[in-house]
Structures are given as C-alpha cells and as structure tokens.
Structure 1
Amino acid sequence: MGLARIFRRENLDNYLKSDQHFAKTMSAKDLMSLGIGAVIGTGIFILPGTIAAQYSGPGIVLSFLLAAVVCSTAAMCYAEFASVLPVAGSAYSYGNLVFGEIIGWILGWALILEYVLAVAAVANAFGAYFKSFLAGFGVNLPTAITGPYDPSHGTYGNIIAILVVFLISWLLNRGMRESMRINNAIVIVKIAIIILFVVVGIFYVKPANWQPFAPFGSKGILRGASTVFFAYLGFDVVSASAAEVKNPKRNMPIGIIGTLIVATVLYMMVAIVLTGMVHYTKLNVADPVALALTLVHQNWTSGIISLGALAGMFTMMVTMIYSSSRLIYSVGRDGLLPKFLGKIDHQTGTPKHSLAVITVVIAVLGGFVPLAQLTNLVNIGTLVAFLFVSFGIIRLRHLDNLPHNTGFQVPFYPVLPIVSGLLCFYMMLQLPAETWIASSIWFALGLIIYFSYGLRHSRLNDQA
C-alpha cells in the first residue's frame, strides 16, 4: 500500500447515500442556535474584563471586532464547503473528499481532540458553577463528589459533570427536533440574560472610564485580538450538521456566518458597557461582570448572571456532544473506526452507537480528570482543521468530480482562502511549546491507529 492508496479520495455519492438516513429537520434558525450555543459560553462574562485589564483597555471592543474579521475568513470557507458538500463529519469529510483519506483522518483526529476536551472541560466547570449556585440556596453537596479524582484533596469524581453529560446525551438520543426545541429555548434565555446586563449596565456607564481608550497602544489591541480569537471558536461545529439540514445550500451559510455576526455583536456590547461601568484597571478578576454589578449595587443581577453562565455552558455542551457524535459516526461510516459507530437508528434518525461511545468518554474525562491545563489543545485541534479547510477551498474549485457554483462561494477567491490559511497558521505559532508537544503525541497516536486499523478496514478498500 503506497502513497497513492492513503491519498485516495472518497466519493461524494457514497457519503450522500450513507447520510440520507438522517432526518432532515434543521432550519437556519436551528443552525444559528447551535452555533451561538457553542460560541457564547461563560467567556462572555469574563474575557471582556480580564483582556481589557491586561492588554487592550476599553479598546477591547476593537480587539473583538478584529478577531471576528479574522475568524470570518475561515467561516466563509466553511460556509462554501457546507453548502456544496452537505455531508456529516465537517472538516473530516471535506478532507477525505478533496485531499484524500490520510488528510481526512488527521483532521478527524484533530476534531476528536477539540470536541472531547472542550466538552469535558466545560462539564467540569459546569459542576463547579452548579455547586456554588446550589450553595446560594443553602444546598451544600459533599466535597467527595464535586471534583476530579484526587483523593489527596478529598474528591473522587464530579457527579454533576457526569450527570449533565448523560442528560444531554439522553436529549440528543430522542431526535434532533426535540433537542433543538430545548436548545433554542436555552439559547434565548442566555441571550436575554446578556441583553439584561447591557440594558441595566448602560445606566451606570461613565464615559470617563473609556479614557484612555487604548492605554497599551495598537500593540495592546492586537494582543487582545489574538487572545480573544479563541472566544469565537465553535462556529465550525455548525457544519457537522449539514446532512440533517433542510435546504443546506441556503441554510448552512446563514447558520455559520450568522453565528459569527451575532456573537460579535454580543461580545462587543458587553465589552462597551463593562469598560464604561468600571475602569479597566479594576477588571482583572475572575468575575468582572459580577464585580461591575456589585459596584453599582445591582447585586440581584449577579444571580441572574450565574444562571446565564450555566445556560451558556449547557448549550455549548449540547452543540459539542451533538457534533462529536456526528464526527465519530462519519469516521465509523468510512471504516476507519469500528463500523458499528457508523450506523444510524432509523426510528430517531440519530447515530445512537457513536453518541453512546462519545458520551461515556466525555463523562469519564469531565467527571474524573483535571483538565484545566488542556484548553490550548482544543485550540490547536481547531486551527489544524481551519488551516486545511481554508486551503481546501482552492483544491475544491479545481476538482471536476465535485460540485461548483451551486451554493455559497467565498468572495475574493483565491486571496481570501490563502489569507485565512496563513492567519490560522500564525495563530498556531502563538500557542505555547507544551501544547505543540502534547498535540504531537496525540497525532502520533492517531497515525498508529490509522496504519494499524483504519487503513485495513477502510471502506475505500471495498471500492478498489
């Protein structure tokens, strides 16, 4: 088996045939809800304050705008792929279709890293937030069941983290129509809470707090932008749902680009009001939004902000568990992981086996493993996918056996995809050395699995 074999490309018709068993129930509104659910988490109540204090001052507003412009280049590349190739699996499937199986596998392995670690870390944080939320009502959970496995500190597992992962999995298993209804409702609550903060806070804004606007100069605004760039990651998970969307040519671009626009507006609104309420020098705390409300004697709103944080984490987990189950389904569909993972339940139209496996993995990691140091690995997994999707647009346009000019098209081609790829590579270079070392180990493990199992069991062998 030479180079030609591992770079063999999958056939689009095979994917469309396999994915036709999904129930096509999702609208553009559902996609935006999924995307906003993934992008807007607890970070919206923390990042505008801490980044303003450390790097950007009130100029944090421009940092968010700049980061959104950078992200939008990759978002448009995803939008083109998702509208012309409406298949499950996001960047993994795109890689298989335009670059070949080995690249698809690497992208899939990168996304597994992103999704699993992201949800496990958020489940962990959700457990901590929910514990303090209950404590506010006088309900104190035993320490032994509120943290990762660490007997020296008296914790043996985070029961809330485990239960919330299983609850979300149960919801998703019932079918996407019902899951989306619940997810959409919680996303509306989350946005309402963010708008409540803006509306209440705007009455306490003192324009003097916006002076100086850029205390650390343009360098500080750029540094802030490179830091908050990661706050926008998550819009890419929308593309994982392409096989379950009504009219994907129209709805996928709306879902992906619409997510980014709404997230940008919300981040900038919070940043403007927060830095107007409290001088940026006082915002380098763990909960800057709660601090701002306390300083203006609006303590009642702090409890609502905690509810918003919980809602933010919940919808993020819904989106990521959903996307990771579709990713594992796609890899199983192609035979690179055991084929039972690529089966769809005909009653509910969901991949039950892949959802069950990913739920157990995330519950174990979120409930028992301390994950605080692993968040940068989430970022590198995402950026690897962004990089290949960006340059993949150029390859897509040159392949005669794949559709062209049938859906959304990236403007300013080929300049914009190249700029997007180079920006993603630049962001990867900003990550610390230990992230590169840990991710190298992860990718080495992935290649071992591919050459020892995936290559021999691949569906492409049947088409030889």
Structure 2
Amino acid sequence: MVRTLGLIQLTMIGIGAIIGAGIFSLAAAVARDVAGPAVLISFLVAGAASLCAAFAYAEFAGMVPKAGSSYTYCAAVLGEVVGWIVGWDLLLEYTAIVAVVAIGMSGYLGFLLDAVGIHLPTWALGAPGTGSGHRIDLLAVAICLGVAWLLTRGTRTSARVETVLTIVKIAIVLVVIVVGFTKVDSGNLHPFAPFGYGGAFTGAATVFFAVFGYDALSTAAEESVEARSKLPKAMMLSLAISMVLYVLVCVVLTGMQHYSELNPNSGISSAFQSVGLSGLANVIAVGAVIGIVTVTFSFMMGASRLWYALSRDGLMPAWFGAIHPKRKVPHRATWLIGIVSAVLAGLLPINAVAELTNIGVLLAFVVVSAAVLILRYRKPQLTRSFRCPGMPVVPVLGIVFSVWLMSFLQWETWVRLGSWLVVGLVLYAGYGYRRTREVMPGGSVDLDALEGMSDTDGAGGGDDTAPATAR
C-alpha cells in the first residue's frame, strides 16, 4: 500500500468515523425510548469510557505502524490466539457498523425524497419487522455498495472525497447548533431523566457506537505519512472535536422538541421541521446523508485493512488480502465487506445491529487496555511516541468502563457474539494455526521487529495474487 495520509486527512477520517448515525439518528432514538434529555449523560459516560481506551490505542499506534489495529496490538502482546479472536470479532463488528450507519442514512434519504415528491414503494422502505409491508431497506443496500465502489478507486482519491465530505458535515452540524439554540424551549428539558439515570446508563451502552472510530483509523497505519507521530494526534483530535459537537447537539435536539415526539429515523431534521424550519430541515437531511457516508467510508476502510492484515499473516486465505496492482488497495476484501454489509443493512433493524456492534468493540477495548498495561511493564524500553497517561489507572478504568457498559446489553447480543467467536475458533484450529506457521514461523507478531521498523517500511508493496509476507 502507499503512504499518502497526513494529519489533517487522518483527523478527518477519525471525525468521519465518529460523527454520523450517532448524532443524526441514534441520539433521537435513545432519547425517545430510554433516556429522555439525559441522553446528554449517555454520551458523556460513553465518551469517558471511550477516552480511556483511546489513550491505549494511541500508545500502540505510536509504536506499531502496521495495519490491523487491535488485532496486531493484541497478537503482539497477548499472543496469536487472542489476536485472532479480537481480529475475527472486529471483522464482524466493523462490517455491522457499516450496515448500521447505512440504515441511519436511508432514513434521511427517505426524508429528502419525500420532500421533493419522490416516494419509494413500501417494500423498499425498511427491513422486515420495521413497518407494515417492509421487505428490504433498498437505500441502505445502495449506500453500502456505493461506498465499496468509492474505496476501490484508491486511497488518495477516496481520502480526498472523505475530507471534503467531513468538512461539509462539520459545517452543517455547527449550523444545527447555532440555529438550534435559538429555538430551544427549556420546558422540553424537564423532566431531565424521565426513565431514571439507569435509563441514561443503558443509553450509554447503545450510543457507545457513536463515540469510537479512532480504532478504525488505526487500521490505516500503512497508508499514513509518519504514522507513529501523526496517528496518536489524529485519534485525540478527532475524539475531542466529536465529543464537543455531540454534547451541544444533544442539548439542541431535546430542547427543540419533547423527547417523546422525536423521530428516531430523522431526528434532527424532524425537530427543525417541528419548529417551522422546514427549509433548513432539508439542508440538515443533506448534511446527515453526507455525514453518514463518511462513517460508512471509514469503517469499511477499517474492515478491509483488518482483513488484509489477517490474510497477510496467514490467518485467512491470501486471496482475500490481495492488493490491486494499480490502485494499491485490498479490493477483494472491500467488495466482500460491501456485499455483506448491504445484506445486513437491507434485512435487519438498526437496534439489533447496533448492539452487536457495541459488544464486539467493547470486547476489543477490554483486551487492548489490558495489553497496553501489560506491555508497559513487560517491555518498558520500547520507543513510544505517545504514552498513555495515568498508568495504571487509566487502562484499568478503560477495562472497568467497557465491562460495565457490556453488562447493559441484551442477552441475545451475548449469544450472537459467542456464536461468532466459536465459529472463529473452529476456523483458527482448522486453517489459521497451520497456515500462519508457514507465513510467520514461530507464530504471532514479533513486536521487537515491528518496533524497529521505520514509518516507510513496507510502503508501496503488494501484488494482485497475495499480500506481502509478514516480517
């Protein structure tokens, strides 16, 4: 792959991954159903948990300029089996995230189409069970496949598109905040926690989906210029900017319209429409579509780079990790993720997919936080361009926060995760363990070798038949 991404592009990819369906759709759904105006607390709690894990990710990103994110970090510190479990887990979760945000975007696209007099047939308006006559969310399917096509055009081209769209998205969010505050009715904010603060904490487990994204950013390490120094900075900047915007939008959203009347599919646009700003509501809907495209882009990119890393290390067939000879991107993995996410987005409701996403990412956060803690004491001599502050308290808090948020998720979500991990262990025992010994004699990832790499090692390599052998 080719190193073309600088600090601004990396930060925009991070913001693009964080701000999307969470701010435009999920906030309204959580406020209406489980938290009320206390959805603000939901985002703050989720943000605090995410920050603890972000520090751990940033420390690893400052040491290991390799694609793979959590998989590479955990394999290097805790061994190949743990690394595979985390990588297999995140492969599903990133794909599910793409589906979730595509579903969120389809609601705003439907809002726009209705505004101009275009009405899709009932069967194409949503997944089965989401409404009378619904059979498939056709717009969500189209979004997933369209983003897959964009990503296969090449990293430089797709990153430029991502940067422009993210800037437009931030501008529209700022318009929402500035104009929205003039329409806030303080009476709508009472009662602040109609479902109790337990409802706000339950909401935190759901909106956690909206406050990570830097982990997908770390999968772009092999396409980043000066990855060791710029990736940690981009992670911190993207999370900080996104959390400020989230908090302000939550106040505007629940202050403009009573929580019980919020539209879970097009929350912000519907709230502006309710106060007589229909024209601006349409502009916001356009911004929502743009904003959610950037999330889909970031996580599909992350999933394809993760798949590339797993294939390169022998844990999955090399065919999946092939690099396009001209565009230098893992094109096969990208198209497969696009197709699978399209199926999920077309046939499943948003809440079921969002919870599946959250439990997998929280599990990865637990393991990464533990790994950075272990590595700090096992190999203190390694070069770290960024050091997680507050050791050992911050990583421990990251573990505690993540496990606590996982406890609020439905038991069905745990069953789905467990089933997926069992399938992964069977694949590892039947294929990955043997094959990775051929690619990487001795197994796992050699952290000392990675630590000795420069930020330009491995740039521009790869062919159309198999990924480069790991060193």
| 1:440 counterpart letter in structure 2 | G
Equivalent residue runs for 1:81-100 within 5 Å: 81-100=60-79
CA distance in structure 1 between the partners assigned to 2:420 and 2:245 by the alignment:
35
Partner of 2:179: 200
Aligned residue in 2 for 1:33: 12
Within 5 Å, give how 1:52-131 maps onto structure 2: 52=31, 58-131=37-110
**Alignment of 1:190 onto 2:175:** no
Whether the 8 Å CA contact 2:212–2:239 is kept in 1: the answer is: no
Q: What is the distance in 2 between the residues matched to 1:158 and 1:25?
A: 35
Tell me, what secondary structure is at the counterpart of 2:44?
Answer: helix
Q: Superposition pairs for residues 37-56 of structure 1, below 5 Å?
A: 37-52=16-31
| 1:113-192 aligned within 5 A | 113-143=92-122, 147=126, 158-192=137-171
Q: 1:438 aligns with which of 416, 419, 425?
A: 416
Confirm or deny: 8 A CA contact 2:111 2:285 kept in the other structure: no
2:430 counterpart residue number: 452
2:241 is equivalent to residue 271 of structure 1: no
- Conserved 8 A contact 2:21-2:105: no
Which letter maps to 2:211? Y
CA contact (8 A) 1:333 1:341 kept: no
Equivalent position amino acid for 2:415 in 1: I
* Correspondence 1:290 to 2:269: yes
Deviation at 1:153, TM superposition (A): 7.3
Partner SS, residue 404 of structure 1: coil
Counterpart CA distance in 2 for 1:314 and 1:27 is 21
Checking the alignment, whether the CA contact within 8 Å between 2:106 and 2:140 is kept in structure 1 is yes
Q: Kindly state the Cα deviation for residue 234 of structure 1 after the two structures are TM-superposed.
A: 2.4
Contact 1:334–1:460 at 8 Å: present in 2 too? Answer: no
Q: Is the 8 A contact 1:84 1:403 kept in 2?
A: no
Which residue of 294, 298, 303 maps to 1:324? 303
Among candidates 311, 332, 342, match of residue 290 of structure 2: 311
| AA at the equivalent of 1:302 | A
> Partner of 1:11 in structure 2?
none
Alpha carbons of structure 1 residues 396 and 36: separation in structure 2 relative to 1, 3 Å? same
Aligned-pair identity in percent equals: 37
Q: Deviation of residue 227 (structure 1)?
A: 4.4
Give the alignment's TM-score, normalised by structure 1. Answer: 0.86
Q: How does 1:363-382 map to 2 (within 5 A)?
A: 363-367=342-346, 373-382=352-361
Letter in 1 for 2:140: A
Specify which of 314, 332, 354 is matched with residue 335 of structure 1.
Answer: 314
Pick closer, same or farther for the CA change 1:140–1:413 going to 2, 3 Å: same
Q: Given residue 451 of structure 1, which amino acid in structure 2 is its aligned partner?
A: A
Give me the whole-angstrom Cα distance separating, in 2, the residues matched to 1:299 and 1:57. 24
Once the two structures are superposed, residues 277-296 of structure 1 have per-residue CA deviations (whole angstroms, 9 ceiling, x without a partner) of 34556548654433432332
- What is the TM-score normalised by the length of structure 2? 0.84
Counterpart check, 1:344 vs 2:323? yes
Q: Helix, strand or coil: the match of 1:463?
A: coil
In structure 1, runs of 5+ residues without a counterpart are 1-21
Q: Note closer, same or farther for the CA distance 1:419–1:115 as it changes in structure 2 (3 Å cut).
A: same
| Residues 1:406 and 2:400 aligned together | no
CA contact under 8 A between 1:24 and 1:245: conserved in structure 2?
A: yes
Q: In 1, distance between residues paired with 2:270 and 2:343?
A: 34
2:336 to 349, 352, 357: 357
Counterpart CA distance in 2 for 1:372 and 1:458 is: 37
Deviation at 1:214, TM superposition (A): 5.8
Relative to structure 2, which stretch is displaced further, 53-62 or 390-399?
53-62
Q: Relative to 1, partners in 2 of residues 1:215 and 1:116: Cα closer, same or farther, differing over 3 Å?
A: closer
Q: Which residue of 2 aligns with 1:416?
A: 394
| Residue aligned with 2:62, SS | helix
Deviations 1:13-69 (A, max 9, x none): xxxxxxxxx211111211221122122113313454454556655554344333312
Greater CA drift, 123-132 or 291-300: 123-132
Distance in 1 (CA, whole Å) between partners of 2:318 and 2:80 is 16
Q: CA deviation digits over 1:255-285, x for unaligned, max 9?
A: 1111111111111111222333345565486
* Counterpart pick for 2:207 among 214, 225, 228: 228
1:249 alignment partner AA: R
How many Å separate the matches in 2 of 1:156 and 1:296? 33
TM-aligned CA deviation for residue 384 of structure 1: 1.1
Aligned length, in residue pairs: 441
CA–CA separation in structure 1 for the residues paired with 2:60 and 2:388: 10
Taking a change above 3 Å as real, the CA distance of residues 403 and 83 of structure 1, as seen in their structure-2 partners, is farther
Report deviation, 1:354.
2.0
Distance in 1 of aligned mates of 2:183 and 2:218: 40
1:153/1:265 Cα in 2 relative to 1: closer, same or farther (>3 Å)?
A: closer
Residue deviations 1:193-222 (CA, integer Å, cap 9, x gap): 211111212222344555665667765655
Map Cα deviations across residues 229-256 of structure 1 (whole Å, 9 max, x no partner): 3321323211111111111222111211
- In structure 2, relative to structure 1, the CA distance for the partners of 1:230 and 1:321 (3 Å cut) is closer
Structure 2 stretches of 5 or more lacking a match?
A: 443-471
Deviation at 1:116, TM superposition (A): 1.4
Is the deviation greater in 237-246 or in 358-367?
A: 358-367
Judge conservation of contact 1:54–1:284 (CA < 8 Å) in 2: no
Q: Is the 1:30–1:180 Cα contact (8 Å) retained in structure 2?
A: yes
Shift of 1:451: 0.5
Decide whether aligned partners of structure 1 residues 320 and 286 sit closer, same or farther in structure 2, where only a CA change above 3 A counts: closer
RMSD across aligned positions (CA): 2.9
Counterpart of 1:123, as a letter, is A
Equivalent residue number for residue 386 of structure 1: 365
Asked whether the 8 Å contact 1:328–1:341 carries over to 2, the reply is yes
